[in-house]
Amino acid sequence: MTIFEQYATLLRAASPVALATVIDGPGIGAKLLVRPDHDPVGTLGDPELDRVVARDALGELEAARSGVRNYGPAGQTTPEDLLDQPTVRIFIESHAPPPQMWIFGAVDFTAALARVAKVLGYRVTVCDAREVFATRRRFPMADEVRVSWPKPVFDDIGDELGPRDAVCILTHDPKFDVPAVQGALSTRVGYIGVMGSRTTHDRRMERLAEVGIIAPIDVDRLMSPIGLDIGARTPEETAVSICAEIIASRTGRSVPSLRDTTGDIHS
């Protein structure tokens, strides 16, 4: 099979794959196909260059980023090593599976949030311990609906969650919120938002402190109350404020999160 045939097969199967191409410098057009847990296929013209680019490509793939990187002909990356060397410019094209959003709590806001998250390309799972609420019929827009307490879910999928993924806890019920926050904090998930009024938030922080969640390294990860301070009223507006906060947390832009403001949440 040619590299293109292998690449096309992986794209059709929605398997994570990165394609590195020399776009400028010696060996223009050379290809290296990189996948997690597999040996790279092809060569960029030098074994050390292949090794360094394969490593970088896996990083780019995890971040779902595509872009150009510069190397020396033998994979040099430090400026001193690159003096008097031709530059090899390499385009790394990443194809990562969609980011995940886990919504805990089958409440009024859940359907709207699931809909907006789908528009943004998330794979959405709705999870609630109450069988009567967590039904496919109520959440046809979700990719999956799971009836479970939070802990087994995080035991099951916690290792899969990464910086691009989001956990949104909408239950307002400490019985469910506290284990969901504990579970989310045990993962590398990029965004953790927890819904509730400012009073609910204060009480929840007390409950979390009782189970030992007091360290700034944990508490600072929580966006609580969830969402931006845009005066959202309806479930749909709230969903937009949550998704906008997720985008801003990824891009590092400073925006008025409810967590960092005071006063009424709804205008």
Compute CA distances 6 → 9, 13, 42, 55, 221, whole Å.
Answer: 5, 11, 11, 20, 40
Q: Which stretch binds other proteins (CB under 8 A): 61-69, 157-165, 166-174, 237-245?
A: 61-69
Question: How far is C-alpha 127 from the geometric centre of its chain's CA atoms?
Answer: 18
Beta carbons within 10 angstroms of residue 263's beta carbon:
8
User: Does 2 contact other proteins by CB under 8 A?
Assistant: yes
Between CA 235 and CA 217 the distance in angstroms is: 30
Q: Is the separation of the CB atoms in 54 and 90 below 8 Å? A: no
Of 7 and 109, CB closest to other proteins = 7
Between CA 71 and CA 94 the distance in angstroms is: 18
Of 62 and 237, CB closest to other proteins = 62
Q: Is the separation of the CB atoms in 170 and 105 below 8 Å? A: yes
Of 60 and 165, CB closest to other proteins = 60
Binding mask of the shown chain, residues 71 to 90, with x at each position contacting other proteins by CB under 8 A? ------------------x-
Binding mask of the shown chain, residues 3 to 22, with x at each position contacting other proteins by CB under 8 A? xx--xx--xx--------x-
User: Does 23 contact other proteins by CB under 8 A?
Assistant: yes
Binding residue count for other proteins, defined by CB under 8 A: 21
Q: Which residues bind other proteins (CB under 8 A)?
A: 2-4, 7-8, 11-12, 21, 23-24, 28-29, 31, 66-68, 89, 91, 93-95
